Chain A
């Protein structure tokens, strides 16, 4: 395929094509990934059934039995991949507010972050809940979002000994990353808080609260508020608060 030229249209077997827009992690490249996804969702090409957006690429899954002319199909995708570059200009960002109860039983490793960074608990909570995070992609486990935008002054290495079970909703730090455990799972992240929201619910449509391309803001809440929201979530009456990110340069 073309050398050093983006986008690259990469073959991934007979049922998947991957379009790459670069070789780094950043909003600008990811905006093109999202633009291509929007174009393809609108276009509804026969046989194409699923997309997996990642940091700098979009995987396009299709049924090869429905593809009549493989080479035409490839060149169509190539044309649309290039078209997405010019459409990715400026996007209105949308965000979701994730309430988090920090510290104590909800974030048993907040102390570790205090020791590692030399900052106070309040300062760590403040720095964690101030920025807007961008969800580049979901992966790793069902509903796990890869977030960009953490303040590096609160970066803390993973636990030396991973826990066997971390409750769903736990918010953690691992190096320069922050994330939310969507389901009960083992893991080695430093847990600093927990959200009462269900990040992943197989019985709900859609099953995840967050999607690639969405923004996230953590909002500190008290234990009492946590319990209140938890009850509302259990009854299906809680609607997460959204916010407008405004125009996001791409």
Chain B
């Protein structure tokens, strides 16, 4: 497919899971802010997990399908997605074809970032192992920048059975349960010992407002001062995704996708991976609070989220191997020429796509 940008929206960029492997060279990771939304999007249209999508922020773009046809799903926040002016659902796979218009009318209250995932993914050059856009250094994505009016994007090679993914709906129990006021889970460290017991207590018990300085690089928070023992500066070290820096002024900063790789401020705690996706959907003005979990608990929480993605994969596999409704009750006139079978060999299950070879 060819996709044309009619209106770019507030900030629309090409993102995948990120440019991992080069932080030691000073290269920021970038990638989708809500990684869970990207992952389930790719599963629902049959893409590989490294496929790229469009990350849409607050005010979505207007896109038109210039050429071809394919499957599309919008995940993450509901930004008022519609196809050809007809309100459409998030987490539901649609077929789009030449002439179709995808647009967004505005936020519906469950977050600020949506992910437009096409079958085949967005086909831009792979730079240092990733298609993600790193805006600050103009690397990756589409010309290293946010999309603008008139840009034309190609999608990659779709799943051979992409048509069969159409109409799939993500079950609600796969999606994360995010209640208002639910604290974000953190593991204390690496520099929690640089804070007074009172400082740690403040951080874990008070709530913090997300300020207007909240972007892909990080969210600056505002609230009761988190007290250091002696000074906030350390010898520069690595800044992990989701780490919470506290400079001398005592106000936390959550470091996100476009963070620099190293820095010299104390980090009191690091968010659990699933809660990095959760905060990425929050907006300036909203309040957040933190709850401590152990390292073991955090690993389990993250593994559980990965389990949800695996569960979705199973659901999708069942969906694409379903008996087409048109053949139920009567014998099809047309011989079936392709399909997907679940095979079990030595106790291991495999999904096998097959296609008839004409002689």
Flag if B128 contacts A10 (CB, 8 Å).
no
Number of A-B contacts (CB under 8 A): 148
Chain A CB within 8 A of B271 CB: yes
Interface residues of B in 221-248 (CB under 8 A from A): 235-238, 240-243
B189–A50 CB distance below 8 A: no
B-side contacts of A55, CB under 8 Å? 235-237
Let me know if A12 and B236 touch, CB within 8 A: no
CA distance A61 to B242 in the complex (A): 13
- Chain B residues whose C-beta falls within 8 Å of the C-beta of A142 in the assembled complex: 22, 25-28, 137, 139
Q: Which of B182-197 contact A (CB under 8 A)?
A: 186-191, 193
Interface size of A by CB at 8 A reads 49
Contact A70 B260 (CB under 8 A): no
Q: Is the CB of B190 within 8 A of A139?
A: no
Size bin of chain B's contact surface: 35 or more
Instruction: Enumerate chain B residues within 8 angstroms of A64, measured Cβ to Cβ.
Output: 273, 298-299, 302-303
B301 CB-CB contact with A under 8 Å: yes
Cα distance A144–B260 in the bound complex, in angstroms? 12
- How distant is the Cα of A207 from the Cα of B127 in the complex, in angstroms? 10
- Would you call B267 and A144 a contact (CB within 8 A)? no
Q: B65: which A residues are within 8 A, CB to CB? A: none
Q: Which residue of A13, A52, A143 is within 8 Å of B298 (Cβ)? A: A13
Q: Report B-chain residues with C-beta under 8 Å of the C-beta of A12.
A: 187, 189-190, 238, 240, 243, 267, 270
In the assembled complex, the Cα of A15 lies from the Cα of B270 at a distance in Å of 9
Please name the residue on chain A nearest to B23 by beta carbon: A52
Please report which residues of chain B, range 20-60, place their CB below 8 angstroms from some CB of chain A when the two chains form the complex: 20-28
Interface contact B299-A139, CB-CB below 8 Å: no
| Candidates B25, B27, B273; contact of A14 at CB < 8 Å | B273
Q: Is the CB of B235 within 8 A of A202?
A: no
In the bound complex, CA of A139 to CA of B235 (Å): 13
Interface residues of B in 309-330 (CB under 8 A from A): none
Task: Enumerate chain B residues within 8 angstroms of A67, measured Cβ to Cβ.
Answer: 299
Contact in complex: A11, B272 (CB < 8 Å): no
Whether B243 lies near A61 (C-beta < 8 A) is no
Contact B241 A15 (CB under 8 A): yes
Chain B residues with CB under 8 Å of A20's CB are 237
The answer to whether A11 touches B26 (Cβ under 8 A) is no
Residue pair B24, A14 in contact (C-beta under 8 Å): no
Q: 0/1 per residue, B248-283, Cβ < 8 Å to A?
A: 000000000000111100010011110000000000
Residues of B162-195 at the interface with A, using a CB-CB cut-off of 8 Å, are: 186-191, 193
B270 x A16 contact (CB < 8 A): yes
14 A–B contacts from the bound complex (CB under 8 Å)? A13-B243, A14-B302, A18-B190, A50-B20, A52-B261, A54-B236, A54-B262, A59-B240, A61-B20, A74-B295, A138-B26, A207-B25, A208-B25, A212-B24
Q: Give me the 10 closest cross-chain CB pairs, A-B, nearest first.
A: A13-B270, A139-B262, A59-B238, A10-B190, A14-B298, A11-B189, A138-B26, A52-B238, A16-B240, A65-B306
Besides the known contacts A57-B237, A141-B26, 20 further A-B residue pairs in the complex with CB atoms under 8 A apart: A10-B190, A13-B186, A13-B187, A13-B240, A13-B241, A13-B272, A49-B20, A49-B21, A53-B24, A54-B235, A54-B236, A54-B238, A64-B298, A64-B299, A64-B303, A139-B260, A141-B260, A142-B25, A143-B25, A211-B25
